Homo-oligomer: A and B are copies of this chain.
Amino acid sequence: MATSASKSARERVREEITREILDVARAHLAEHGPVALSLRAVARDVGMVSSAVYRYFPSRDDLLTALIVEAYGAVADEVEAAAAASTRRHLSGRWAAVTASVRDWARAHPHEYGLIYGTPVPGYQAPEATIEPVNRLAVVLVELLRDGLERGELTPEHDLALPKRVHAALAPVLEFADLPDDVVARGLLAWTSMFGAISYELFGHLHSAVLDYDAYFEHQMARLAHDVLGAR
């Protein structure tokens, strides 16, 4: 018992320092962007020699990967919290809450947002470890839609029936969601549209086109809920 306790003492220190490296790295990321993320600079700020970092991360890329995974986790946390805090509201209200939570996080952490929803860092595909937080996001969206259906707040008009080819294209996501195909298609469209709106704003394309980003975003999200999701 004493042995395992002391053993975990070393491990606790290790975890602490790993955390510290990640925190410093995240700060660097926030300030200079992923491209400029330098192992040496991080090491300097942590107060160790650059080679010591290799005790914790086998390479610079692994450090970046860890940050990517953390960023996904952070969005998932925000979204889950927003969804949980709005269970008693109507579908459109919950949609507003969830989309606002993503946007707020994105504005607070633009570089991290860019890291996961902007241009992928060259030579990168999503690491395995992002599957779990991405799934959490998907679950929130699916639950939102399911609740909306069950409560009768979601009244999709079936006037634009899904062609067979589109239905087939959606196979993986349909299996995951277990909802009517047009609801899934609408949900996905609303979801990607939200990212379009956020990226467009965050990456500067609304500059000199729109004055009040908050009002604009809120309104467009309401429009998505109404027109695309079919809420109300």
The verdict on A219 contacting chain B, using a C-beta distance below 8 Å, is yes
Bound Cα distance A36, B119 (Å) = 14
Contact with B along A131-171 (1 / 0, CB 8 A): 00000000000000000000000000000101101101111
CB distance from A72 to the nearest CB of B (A): 11
By a CB distance below 8 angstroms, the chain B residues around A93 are: none
The verdict on A185 contacting chain B, using a C-beta distance below 8 Å, is yes
CB distance from A101 to the nearest CB of B (A): 17
The verdict on A58 contacting chain B, using a C-beta distance below 8 Å, is no
The verdict on A14 contacting chain B, using a C-beta distance below 8 Å, is no
Q: Is the CB–CB distance between B118 and A119 below 8 Å?
A: yes
By a CB distance below 8 angstroms, the chain B residues around A193 are: 189, 192-193, 196-197, 224
Q: Is the CB–CB distance between B185 and A215 below 8 Å?
A: no
Q: Is the CB–CB distance between A224 and B189 below 8 Å?
A: yes
By a CB distance below 8 angstroms, the chain B residues around A166 are: 212, 215-216, 219
Bound Cα distance A220, B166 (Å) = 9
Instruction: Please tell me how many copies of the chain the complex holds.
Output: 2
Bound Cα distance A193, B188 (Å) = 11
By a CB distance below 8 angstroms, the chain B residues around A35 are: 35, 121-122
CB-CB under 8 A for A189 and B223, given A199-B195, A211-B168, A215-B165: yes
CB distance from A109 to the nearest CB of B (A): 13
Q: Is the CB–CB distance between A169 and B215 below 8 Å?
A: yes
Bound Cα distance A162, B36 (Å) = 43
Could you show 14 A-B contacts with beta carbons less than 8 Å apart? A33-B119, A118-B119, A120-B203, A160-B226, A163-B219, A169-B216, A170-B210, A189-B197, A192-B220, A193-B193, A195-B196, A195-B200, A196-B196, A196-B197
Q: Which residues of A contact B (CB under 8 A)?
A: 32-33, 35-36, 114-115, 117-122, 125-126, 160, 162-163, 165-166, 168-173, 176, 185-186, 188-189, 192-197, 199-200, 203-205, 207-213, 215-216, 219-220, 222-224, 226-228
